[in-house]
Amino acid sequence: MRTKEKEIENLLTPIAEKEKIEIVDVQHMIENGNWIVRIFIDKRDGITIDDCEYVSHIFSSFFDTNDIFSGPYFLEISSPGFNRVLKKEESFKRFVGSKVRIQTLNPINDRRSFLGILLGFKDSRVKINDFNDGILEIGFLNIERANIVTDNTECGGLNGRKR
């Protein structure tokens, strides 16, 4: 995670914890000449649009009161979606049994991209049953990007606006 994104996450984490919200990912970038701050949130029962609106109000008030950004910005609050990013140790533990795609910084068995079932997380290592190479362990610090992979057929059981 880049420095500004980590700074934003560190500033907002106490607020999120108080609200029983998990910050899944933070993105800070320029799009079409405008600064964008995207924050993906989750909670145990899922996120609703009302949750996103509420958190947006709290976070934007915090940013504005504390002069976090020197100029104008757009704040976007969203659920992590079906193909949620996995960045934290807790997330890897929570989603054991899920299908995951992992991109590594350094090759393992001459590959950097792996797709399989997440088997666990222990001693800073992610264990997966890769569909090509079988059971592998990947060092947490070697992970460039990881996310849940869902098939479209798995989306049928959602209620209302929960994500």
pLDDT digits (tens, 9 = 90+) for 80-91: 888 899 999 989
pLDDT tens, residue by residue, 79-132 = 988 889 999 998 999 999 999 999 999 999 999 999 999 999 999 999 999 999
pLDDT, residue 55, reads 96
**What is the per-residue pLDDT across 35-64, written as a single tens digit (0 to 9) for each?**
999 999 999 888 999 999 999 999 999 998
114 and 65 in a common domain: no
Rounded Cα distance, 116 and 97, in Å: 10
Evaluate whether 68 touches 132 at the Cβ level (below 8 Å): no
Count structural domains, the chain. Answer: 2
Spatial distance between the Cα atoms of 89 and 126, rounded to a whole number of angstroms: 9
Q: Do 13 and 71 lie in a common domain?
A: yes
Which residues, in sequence order, are CB contacts of 124 under 8 Å at separation 6+? 89, 139, 140, 141
Q: What is the pTM of this model?
A: 0.76
Domain end call among 14, 46, 78: 78
For residue 142, the domain's CATH number is 2.30.30.180
Rounded Cα–Cα distance for residues 71 and 155 (Å): 39
Joined tokens for residue 80: 């992590």
Q: Taking the CA atoms of the chain, what radius of gyration do you get in angstroms?
A: 17
Rounded mean pLDDT, 150-158: 47
Are 72 and 99 part of one and the same domain? Answer: no
d(CA 127, CA 138): 6
Residue 24 lies in a domain: yes
